[in-house]
């Protein structure tokens, strides 16, 4: 289970290697994604809060990266944060998310990126529920929801 010191260490010292890599040209990403999806995932944009029904969706299933299909989160780790974006406590595996500092260093704001294709997903914060204390605040448009098998 990842905790805030682990996230800070990864952001500072480098991320775990992914199981696979997906690399595409800018033109290929633009062809695959809508303008809003491209803005959020490839240009590190942010969707409007409360703009997606995913925020209030608490059904079993998995959430994968919209861009490459890598499984990122299990719905069992999803919780209502009240922020307007879907929030999770832990990724399905430690190496599916990459971390990097975003903004002034004194804020220690940490961006979350798909470790497979470098898609911007959102941010992680140390104010989530126990036991891990993490809140992965994700852009819903960067995720693809699949029902449980």
Query: Phi/psi of residue 146, each to 5°?
Result: -125, 140
Q: Is 137 part of the annotated catalytic residue set?
A: yes
Give the active site residue among 55, 67, 114, 137: 137
Is the pLDDT confidence value at 147 over 80? no
Contact 67, 43 (CB under 8 A): no
Rounded to 5°, the CA angle 42-44-48 comes to 115
- In order of start, what are the domains of the chain with their CATH numbers? 4-13+22-147 (2.170.150.20)
Rounded distance between C-alpha atoms, residue 95 and residue 72, angstroms: 9
- Six token digits for residue 78: 């999803």
pLDDT of residue 102: 86
3 state SS for 68-133? CCCEEEEHHHEECCCCCCCEECCCCCCCCEEEEECCCHHHCCEEEEECCCCCEEEEEECCCCCCCC
- For the stretch 64-122, pLDDT in tens is 999 999 999 999 999 999 999 999 999 999 999 999 998 776 666 899 999 999 999 99
Residue closest to 24 by CA, chosen among 73, 59, 87, 69: 69
Predicted TM-score (pTM) of this structure: 0.94
Is the pLDDT confidence value at 149 over 60? no
3-state secondary structure of 145: strand
Q: Which residues of 120-149 are buried (b: 16+ CB within 10 A; e: fewer)?
A: bbbbbbeebeeebebbbbbbbbbbbbeeee
**% of the chain at pLDDT higher than 70:** 95
pLDDT of residue 75: 95
Residue closest to 99 by CA, chosen among 9, 3, 11, 6: 11
């Amino acid at each position: 289970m990842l905790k805030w010191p682990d996230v800070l260490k990864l952001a500072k010292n480098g991320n775990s290697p992914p199981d696979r890599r997906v690399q595409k040209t800018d033109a290929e990403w633009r062809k695959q994604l809508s303008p809003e999806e491209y803005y959020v995932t490839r240009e590190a944009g942010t969707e409007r809060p409360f703009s997606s029904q995913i925020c209030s969706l608490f059904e079993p299933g998995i959430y994968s990266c919209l861009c490459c299909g890598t499984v990122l989160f299990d719905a069992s780790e999803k919780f209502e944060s009240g922020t307007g974006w879907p929030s999770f406590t832990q990724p399905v595996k430690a190496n599916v998310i990459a971390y990097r500092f975003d903004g002034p260093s004194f804020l220690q704001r940490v961006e979350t990126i798909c470790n497979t294709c470098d898609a911007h997903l959102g941010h992680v914060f140390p104010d989530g529920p126990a036991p891990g204390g993490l809140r992965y605040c994700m852009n819903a448009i960067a995720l693809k929801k699949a029902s449980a098998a």
